[in-house]
Chain A
Amino acid sequence: MDIQYLRKGQELYLYLKGELDEHSVVSLRGRTDALIDENASSKRAIFNLAGVRFMDSTGIGFLMGRYKKLSRYGMGMAIEAPDRNADKILSMSGIYSLMPKI
């Protein structure tokens, strides 16, 4: 998994790319958390999933974990551009009530 970020005003955009599974999530977690720590002054983190070609339930756990971390900084979270598969999984999990799809 690859992650890139862009700071736009008060918002931190995180662009994920690749296949998100139990193997790839290990290093992604650390890199994402480091970016959140460096940008903890922003108001909201927006996870852009347009580049995520594959995702299983690991994605739910990963996004929930980041949601908890962001909450400790008082930051909000949103999801952008999930593909059909990711959207199906995220809808099933009810996660959009915590982090809206924008």
Chain B
Amino acid sequence: MNRMQLRFLSRSENEIFARNVVAAFALPLNPTLSELSDVKTAVSEAVTNCIVHAYPDDEQWIGVECETDGNKLHITVTDSGRGIADIAQALTPFYTSCPGEERSGMGFTIMQTFMNDFHLTSVPGEGTRVEMTKCFGGTAEADAR
């Protein structure tokens, strides 16, 4: 089992940083290219949500923790921001609280589809926690598809 913790400010330039760090951490698990791409996309979605929705007005801390467990990678993304009052609504495909901003409301749907396991907890006014797991074990052929 291997673990890492990352803390960075909620600046949009850190989106690329966060997803690439997690991808690099996952490399010893021998992910296929498409599995790695799924992980990067899911991390980017979760981190972007913290930047855009949790802390809309200022720069605050975002946490990313990873833990490997056999062929599995557990990822936890946390913020201490605004929180989500209606979780079921937030998870609804195409729902966005900012329809005027060219957002599609597909972030959570993408995380759920691209990862094997997904769990969202949130307390309004206290923060949000996204836990996701990816099981690696695809074949190189999956990349050729």
- Chain A interface (Cβ < 8 Å from any Cβ of B): 19, 21-23, 26, 29, 54-58, 60-62, 64-65, 84-85, 88-89, 92-93
3 closest Cβ pairs, A-B complex: A23-B12, A60-B104, A61-B102
Shortest C-beta distance, B118 to chain A (Å), equals: 15
User: Given A22-B15, A23-B15 in contact, is the A57-B34 Cβ separation under 8 Å?
Assistant: no
Asked whether B45 lies within 8 Å of A57 as measured between CB atoms, the reply is yes
Q: Determine which of A22, A26, A65, A85 lies in contact with B37 in the assembled complex, contact meaning CB atoms within 8 Å.
A: A85
Shortest C-beta distance, B32 to chain A (Å), equals: 11
Residues from chain B with a CB closer than 8 A to the CB of A89 are 41, 106, 110
Q: Chain A contact residues: over half helix, strand or loop, or mixed?
A: helix
Question: How far apart sit A26 and B12, CA to CA, in the bound complex (Å)?
Answer: 10
Question: How far apart sit A26 and B48, CA to CA, in the bound complex (Å)?
Answer: 14
29 A-B residue pairs with CB within 8 Å: A21-B48, A22-B12, A22-B15, A23-B12, A23-B13, A23-B16, A26-B12, A29-B102, A54-B16, A54-B19, A54-B37, A54-B40, A54-B44, A56-B45, A56-B48, A56-B110, A57-B103, A61-B101, A61-B102, A61-B103, A65-B102, A84-B37, A85-B34, A88-B114, A89-B41, A89-B110, A92-B109, A92-B110, A93-B106
As a 0/1 sequence over residues 89 to 124 of chain B, the CB contacts with chain A under 8 angstroms (1 = contact) are 000000000000111101101100110000000000
Asked whether B48 lies within 8 Å of A58 as measured between CB atoms, the reply is yes
Number of inter-chain CB pairs below 8 Å? 65
Residues from chain B with a CB closer than 8 A to the CB of A61 are 101-104
Shortest C-beta distance, B123 to chain A (Å), equals: 24
User: Given A56-B41, A84-B145, A85-B41 in contact, is the A22-B48 Cβ separation under 8 Å?
Assistant: yes
User: Given A85-B34, A89-B110 in contact, is the A56-B102 Cβ separation under 8 Å?
Assistant: no
Q: Chain B contact residues: over half helix, strand or loop, or mixed?
A: helix
User: Given A19-B16, A57-B104 in contact, is the A84-B34 Cβ separation under 8 Å?
Assistant: yes
Find the B residue at minimum CB distance from A62.
B102
Interface contacts beyond A21-B15, A54-B16, A89-B110: sample of 20 additional A-B pairs, CB < 8 Å, sorted by A: A19-B16, A21-B48, A22-B51, A23-B15, A26-B12, A29-B102, A56-B41, A56-B44, A56-B45, A57-B45, A57-B48, A57-B106, A60-B104, A60-B106, A61-B104, A64-B102, A84-B145, A85-B41, A89-B41, A89-B106
